[in-house]
Structure 1
């Protein structure tokens, strides 16, 4: 039998009388990749907070290396060899890469109480080369993109003498190439006997990496199974308590006349000669590798960024879109890829977030009409099934799926003609994804034309009527959903040309 490194038994934690965990269990063996699965709100984060000393459990026991332990703080967890890479990145932007990597454990001269900066620089340079990052130790972290910051956090965790590493959605902002680098790192860690607790909503990653899977549901332990005993369908059933007959509940909508037309849109060095049409009732999927220019095109269409040349037509009329407010006035809406940075005010309530983009509807003479604001917000909350204690709940306390619904709600009040969705299900669980897909299908049936940018090919193929493939800032191919495979889309994105 494989040696057991960690056992968590009967872990219970309540907040204000509501149980976040109820007798949850977790067992980790040395040298395994162990997936921790469950919907948002299932208790995964709370269980990991208990393990890393951020939260004290009300009941339960933790055994580490065969001994019962109490983990009173994150430092105590690190001292024991438990390192966690959080989904919410927390580097210090004004400090350099080297300073961030070795913060609090800087090398010092043996004979002087000063930091040995040359040693730190050399160690950082070695690590950056080892993990194939084209960065320099003296670069400030604020200059890095999200994917580079994610890799930096992964490297930082690995530099500790870790006996157990927890990875929470580590690939959410990584390109395909960076994901493969991460997978190689995980396999190397595993060979060295260090187990990894891997939390992800991406099924393909779980089946590619995990040895065993533990599932939580509504704070309770459902079970642990070898990955070889599971299928995608059986794992989903464990997570949601019932089979999902269709992950992609696409309804065939009547496709009408063109609503949005883009002609020769160009932004030098970013994308060139982008032309396409989207029809009433159609879902147009845009696929491609990270850096292909997909999001950048949509930002230009919506007026967030300025294009150098090209035309945008709405309902057969040439449009002048210089700012998002111009796009909104023309009946367009855009759900951006980073809901927390660009789509929500996390410290504000559901009501305030929904009404923020619609003050012209609820204000008169500079004052908000509270009754009308409440009426509209309650209508949207009911229509798209936002699960919360009420309109006054702060959005930071909602699950990822419900946060995304709030973003949708603020745009749908205006009943847009064109709805642009950039990574609409990033970072949300499988059940919440199915709910978002159902809403997208309903919008299409109502006559909206929808443009959906996504890095997840099953999502693109499951929901789109037509698919554009982008690469290197150009449209490389166009396909009908029932006449293409995932392999053909990938081949087109990497270098080939595709036709309908």
Structure 2
């Protein structure tokens, strides 16, 4: 480790970054030794992403210095970071959807034929395949990125960074979209990089990953350095206290809420490419979890309920009445809210304000004169309601949502999902990419929603979260329900047994 006697490979001293009205980093310092995995943790808005963008050449510091191998380092653009041997995997994907996987991995570094100057596609396809093999996955290098799942796109980003063969690999929430098996393989890759003498700056809200792979950890809060310590000298509870400045007594807490009448019923529903003969029941006041490995049919299930995917066969009932939405507009008019798993690609509208992002799901209710123009007063009313209820940190209703931290963007999208009425809420990965404090706040809000009588369908790849706040859990495998877990049967072992082996486990304590 870089302890004063050993020169640091990377050293940050007094780094300050200011934007109009905001000091994102305030005198931050930390160092990374060669062959070290150094974790960087903190709540959303703590300054982690800003620091990584400075290292990657996307932001310029207002003050402070960075040293790389005992030489000054001040990248002006991303290419400078690449040339210096620093590869950054950002939390938000930076892929070209119409290019192939291999073209994305080697974008800007393509090998060309000597004579006709065409790209040597056979070579980049082979090299991409080898990179994915090190990650333990198989992804077609000739497939367009637009055809991949979110988790596969994350793996493309990781392969792109590994292809640089840099001295320092910076990973910003690299496992946010990965399944449990993919996370395990990625952590093995991180350990291999360390064994090869390369350094990894690892940013994650998942403290179990931090303790599994990191040597030291630096905690940031409100743009300032709080502490740097060896993982062996701290604990998850202490890191949480350092990150949020207070005790978080219960990460996953489910209030006792009595289930009421059936809000939603699916009877032998089939939709999309793989969802087949799915039957589930959701009652008022319940949180019904949907588990399974990535690609088991979770997106299709949520989309058919929300009207974004046509029903092929079977029947859906909403409060006992036939329900067959022609599109999401029908679902929202019926009081159904929807939270997409991919905040960047299908969630926020980055060039619009916070209030416009909030009200886009309820435009009919905020129209003014003659129903043709939007009512500013109506929009501000929606904004004020959800800003207070969700504790959204923003400078005002007209701030662009793209300027908010990831956690506050997620809260805005949560408000958009609630705005149609909250009769039924479909939540895809509701706390993906948010910090521990925001996660607790969102769980508390979900408890409030069910206490008010709403039903919730929650899809989460985070098993502790899925089991910690769901009343019942359905498990999907290959598009079919293979398990229904209640009470003491709700264990990680049972979920994974159903999801990975197809073994059926159906609790009998609760019908449905």
TM-score (norm 2): 0.92
Is 2:268 the counterpart of 1:264?
A: yes
Q: CA distance change for structure 1 residues 270 and 64 in 2, over 3 Å: closer, same or farther? A: same
Does structure 2 retain, via aligned residues, the 8 Å contact 1:253–1:282?
yes
Q: Any gaps of 5 or more consecutive residues in structure 1?
A: none
Q: RMSD between aligned alpha carbons?
A: 2.2
**Counterpart for residue 108 of structure 2:** 104
Instruction: Give 3-state SS (helix, strand or coil) of 1:259's partner.
Output: strand
What does residue 452 of structure 1 align with? Answer: 458
Tell me the TM-score normalised to structure 1 length.
Answer: 0.94
Q: What does residue 355 of structure 1 align with?
A: 359
Q: Report if aligned partners of 2:12, 2:66 keep a CA contact under 8 Å in 1.
A: yes
2:289 to 285, 302, 308: 285
What does the per-residue CA deviation read over 1:103-138, in whole Å, with 9 as the maximum and x for residues that have no partner?
A: 333334568866555544443444344444434444
Residue 495 (structure 2) aligned to one of 483, 489, 498? 489
1:45 maps to what in 2?
A: 49
Q: How does 1:38-437 map to 2 (within 5 A)?
A: 38-108=42-112, 115-267=119-271, 269-363=273-367, 364-437=370-443
Deviates more, 1:382-391 or 1:304-313: 382-391
Distance 1:8 1:326, change over 3 A: same
1:357 counterpart SS class: helix
Distance 1:243 1:481, change over 3 A: farther
Q: Measure, in 2, the Cα distance between the counterparts of 1:423 and 1:456.
A: 8
Q: Which shifted more, 87-96 or 6-15?
A: 87-96
Deviation at 1:245, TM superposition (A): 1.2
Aligned pairs, how many? 500
| Cα distance in structure 2, aligned partners of 1:449 and 1:486 | 23
For the Cα contact (< 8 Å) 2:101–2:144, is it kept in 1? Answer: yes
Decide whether aligned partners of structure 1 residues 264 and 387 sit closer, same or farther in structure 2, where only a CA change above 3 A counts. Answer: same
Contact in 1 for aligned 2:92/2:344 (Cα 8 Å): no
Contact 1:85 1:157 in 2 (8 A): yes
> Quick one: distance in 2 between partners of 1:35 and 1:326?
45
1:492 shift after superposition: 2.3
Residue of structure 2 in register with 1:462 after alignment: 468
Q: CA deviation at 1:190?
A: 0.8
Cα drift, residue 268 of structure 1: 6.5
1:124 to 1:415, Cα distance in 2 relative to 1, 3 A:
closer
Within 2, Cα distance between the matches of 1:334 and 1:153? 27
The farther-off stretch of 242-251 and 100-109 is 100-109
Unaligned stretches of 5+ residues in structure 2: 508-512
- Please say if residues 8 and 61 of structure 1, whose CA atoms lie closer than 8 Å, have aligned partners that are also in contact: yes
1:218–1:110 Cα change, 3 Å = same
Q: Which moved more, 1:126-135 or 1:186-195?
A: 126-135
Give the secondary-structure state (helix, strand or coil) at the position aligned to 1:368.
Answer: coil
More deviation in 207-216 or 92-101?
A: 92-101
Cα distance in structure 1, aligned partners of 2:44 and 2:114: 49
Relative to structure 1, the CA distance from residue 271 to residue 15 in structure 2 (aligned partners, 3 Å threshold; closer, same or farther) is same
State the distance in 2 between where 1:313 and 1:114 align. Answer: 56
* Aligned counterpart, 2:510: none
Check the 8 A contact 1:248/1:438 in 2, yes or no: no
CA deviation map 1:330-376 (0-9, x unaligned):
22222121233223322111211222221211214312222233223
Q: In 2, are the aligned partners of 1:253 and 1:445 still within 8 Å (CA)?
A: yes
1:464-498 Cα distance to aligned partner (Å, 9 max, x none): 11111221211111222454322222222222221
Whole-angstrom CA distance in 2 between matches of 1:431 and 1:282: 23
Cα distance in 2 for partners of 1:211, 1:253 equals 42
Deviation at 1:20, TM superposition (A): 1.2
The 1:111/1:38 distance shift into structure 2, 3 A limit, reads same
The question of whether the paired residues in 1 share the 8 Å contact of 2:361 and 2:419 is answered with no
Q: Secondary structure at the match of 2:188?
A: helix
Asked if structure 2 preserves the Cα contact closer than 8 Å seen for 1:216 and 1:223, the reply is: yes
Cα drift, residue 189 of structure 1: 0.8
How much does 1:297 deviate? Answer: 0.9
